Amino acid sequence: MNKWKNLILTHSIKEVLILFNTLFLGIYFLKITNGNIITVTVYYLIYYLSHILWRYIVSKFIKSNRVIKIYRFSLFTNLMVSLTLLISKGNIINYIYLFALFYALSQCLYWTSYEIIIYDINNKENFNKYFTYDSVLYNITALIFPTLFGSIIEDYSYYTVFIILFIITLISFALSFTIQNTNINCNPIRLKESMKSIKNKKLFKLLGFQSICDGLTNGGVIQMLSTLILYNNIFSERNIGFFSSVISLICIFIAILAEKKINCNNYPKIVLPIMFLIFFVTIPISLKVTTILIIIYQLLIAIGDVLTNIEGNAIVFNGFKNITIPDYKVDYFWFIELVLNIGRGFGLIMIIIFANIFNNINSLIVLFIFFSAFFIIRTFVIIKLHKYIKTI
């Protein structure tokens, strides 16, 4: 663990900004747009789809001796994102889509460099353990900050939270300078050459489809939708923060238990029944809008997130050596990001279509059935990937 303790610590602190983006930023935009769900959804659509272009541009400039520098610069841009929220306040609505483009660039700088560092410092092994630690630390963060942020927003304002976010991102930027003596080997993206180098097209397609399912579930769409519907019914950031913290506490124990008890052999017997249970419970929830049912749903998708995301992320990294050669790792991770955001984009377009038809946030709850079905589909794909990789 000593090899990556500074990285995972820096990442966990930086995740506070992601947590705010996932939980409260959509609510903030919903408030300053007077409940305009379409504007908020279009913001996220631009944010996710621009990832594809930004990531490609960043991947064209990345080199072995630039990875750590880009990683640090990405945390500096995260600092600028926090500063933008702090300075602009409610006026950000005037350039909300421009902000989406800038925030997406900041995230692409981060994830392009972060994933390369993960792959190289793990010496291409122990990915399950790394992502288990990552999941536990993220849920510890999610245990503390949602309640804290929700209470501060209710008692003071979003402006106070923006000050805290600025300080936290400043700490994360400072910590990035502790990541040293890391051997990184990568080349700029070369799509034509990398496509010719693919050794196993079936595995490549399976990993891509697994990432599309990720985009439709854990990747942000389903969490954003359920949070906005919950806020539309309770109008309280404090309560949303409290519920999120309780759910994160449960997920910490599930992540630890999963790391100790679940492996590729018993994964179908344990995880698949849970995913079917989540889906069947989702059906009555999707037919009636009540606060308690939406909270139950958020708990279920959080459990689904832990049980599929740790394994799904590990498979993406473990499967790389069977897809292509190390020279094309930048190309490989760009492809994973491409299909991930295609999944997110498709989900957001569905939300926009339904919002235009019904013109009511609560009516979007029926989409829970559609999105939850992809938990089952993703689990089946992960099981198939386990078996297929084992035979290679």
pLDDT over 60 (residue 1): no
User: pLDDT band for position 2 (50/70/90)?
Assistant: low
pLDDT attached to residue 376? 93
**pLDDT grade for 3, boundaries at 50, 70 and 90:** low
Number of Cβ within 10 Å of residue 356's Cβ equals: 10
74, 172 in Cβ contact below 8 A? no
Averaged over 135-151, what is the pLDDT? 88
Question: Closest by alpha carbon to 244, among 275, 214, 223?
Answer: 223
The span from the CA of 305 to the CA of 251, in Å, is: 9
Q: Which range among 133-142, 170-179, 237-246 shows the weakest confidence by mean pLDDT?
A: 133-142
How much is the pTM?
A: 0.89
All structural domains of the chain with their residue ranges: 5-391
* Token digits of residue 347: 């989900």
Task: Give the per-residue pLDDT at 152.
Answer: 95
Q: Looking at per-residue confidence, does 344 or 132 come out higher?
A: 344
pLDDT tens per residue, range 287-315: 888 888 888 998 988 898 888 988 888 89
Residues 6+ apart with CB under 8 A from 310: 128, 131, 132, 135, 255, 258, 259
Q: What is the reported pLDDT for 43?
A: 95
Evaluate whether 378 touches 214 at the Cβ level (below 8 Å): yes
pLDDT band at 343 (very low <50, low <70, confident <90, very high): very high
Overall residue count recorded for the chain in this entry: 392
The reported pLDDT for the residue numbered 125 is: 57
Instruction: Give the integer Cα–Cα distance in Å for 390 and 267.
Output: 14
- Can you spell out the DSSP letters for 237-264? HHHHHHHHHHHHHHHHHHHHHHHHH--T
Q: Is the pLDDT of residue 280 over 80?
A: yes
CA–CA distance, 391 with 322 (Å, rounded to integer): 11
pLDDT per residue as tens digits for the range 60-118? 999 888 899 999 999 999 999 999 999 998 899 999 999 999 999 999 999 999 988 88
Can you give the pLDDT at residue 209? 95
Most confident of 97-106, 179-188, 298-307, 366-375: 97-106
Q: What is the pLDDT of residue 373?
A: 93
The pLDDT assigned to 123 comes to: 58
Per CATH, which fold does 5-391 belong to? Growth Hormone; Chain: A; (1.20.1250)
Two structure tokens written together for 286: 């999707």
Whether 228 shows a pLDDT value over 80: the answer reads yes
- Sequence-ordered list of residues with C-beta below 8 angstroms from that of 360, at least 6 positions apart, any chain: none
Phi, psi dihedrals of residue 263, rounded to the nearest 5°: -140, 180
Lowest-pLDDT range, 27-36, 214-223, 247-256, 320-329?
214-223
Structure-block tokens of residue 35: 């409940």
Contacts 24+ apart (CB under 8 A), 229-236: 229/289, 229/294, 229/361, 229/362, 229/364, 229/365, 230/291, 230/294, 230/295, 230/298, 231/27, 231/30, 232/30, 232/35, 232/361, 232/362, 233/289, 233/290, 233/291, 233/294, 233/362, 234/291, 236/150, 236/154
Mean pLDDT (whole number) for 254-272 = 87
Mean pLDDT, rounded, of the chain: 89
Mean pLDDT of 162-188: 88
pLDDT at 135: 79
